[in-house]
Structure formats: C-alpha cells, structure tokens
C-alpha cells in the first residue's frame, strides 16, 4: 500500500467514523489533533513533530502571502493568495444623511484582505470520485 492509498483511506475512514451530524450546513469538524495523529501514523514521525511542522508550514504560508505578497502554489493540491475584500457597513457612518467613510474605523487604509484558496483539478477529481463512491 503506497502513501497515496493511505491518504485516500484517511479521508474514507474519517467519513465513516464521523457521520455528518445535523447542523446548519451539514459539515463535520475534525480537530487538528486527529489530523496530526493520522499523519503521525502514516509517516511514522512523532505526533509532536508533525504538529510543529504543520504549524511552521502555516506560519510560512501566511507570511509569504501577506507580507511578501506572493501566491503560494502546492502542486496537485492548490494555490493560496491574498484577496481584497469589500469593506462592510461597519466602516461607514452617516454624516448629514450621506454615507462617508470614517477614517478612524477603516482597517488597513480602507482595504481588508483575506486568505483565498483554489483547489487544483486533481483534488477536485479526487473529491468527486470519493463522493461517487457514497
């Protein structure tokens, strides 16, 4: 059994063990500890090291995207980048029955950013094949 088969089994076992509970969007949440434990079992590395590596990976990802401004692409997984988001009405106040921006309330010079992710075609195909099995 190769690592990709183990990776596929990780998703199918998680789906079987955690049947979706009745929630608003019918999503189940998996704690990061369970993911670290599964990766630890697959790779043979201690769970603590896996957690540290994942934490460092996420920190570098966020620094690269937000401080440097680069897109981060993981081949056969997807791409992360920053995206400008629209300011919400919390940044606007009424002055004389007109809407004007309140400079004390605007974040990052009036521009908010969010971390955006787009899946690769390979991941989309794998998800579709997993859903077809159900």
State the average pLDDT over residues 67-77: 92
Q: Are 72 and 61 in contact (CB under 8 A)?
A: yes
State the average pLDDT over residues 64-81: 93
For the chain, give the mean pLDDT.
Answer: 76
Counting the structural domains of the chain, the total is: 1
Residue 17 lies in a domain: yes
Binning pLDDT at 50, 70 and 90, where does residue 90 land? Answer: low
Residue 100 lies in a domain: no
Residue 43 has pLDDT above 80, yes or no: yes
Q: How many CA atoms within 13 Å lie on the side-chain side of 15?
A: 11
> Which residue range(s) make up the domain with 49?
1-70
Could you give the CA distance from residue 60 to residue 49 in angstroms, rounded to a whole number? 16
Residue 84 lies in a domain: no
Q: Are 71 and 79 in contact (CB under 8 A)?
A: yes
Please give the torsion angle defined by the CA atoms of residues 112, 114, 118 and 123, in that order, rounded to the nearest 10 degrees. -170
Binning pLDDT at 50, 70 and 90, where does residue 128 land? Answer: very high
């Amino acid at each position: 059994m190769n690592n990709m088969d183990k990776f596929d089994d990780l998703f199918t076992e998680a789906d079987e063990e955690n049947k979706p509970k009745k929630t608003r969007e019918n999503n189940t949440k998996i704690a990061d500890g369970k993911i670290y434990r599964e990766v630890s079992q697959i790779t043979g590395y201690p769970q603590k090291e896996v957690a540290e590596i994942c934490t460092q990976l996420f920190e570098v990802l966020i620094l690269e995207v937000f401080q440097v401004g680069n897109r981060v692409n993981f081949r056969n997984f997807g791409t992360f980048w920053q995206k400008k988001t629209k300011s919400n009405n919390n940044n606007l106040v009424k002055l004389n029955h007109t809407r004007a921006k309140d400079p004390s309330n605007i974040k990052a010079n009036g521009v908010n950013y969010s971390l955006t992710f787009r899946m690769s075609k390979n991941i989309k195909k794998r998800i579709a094949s997993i859903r077809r099995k159900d």
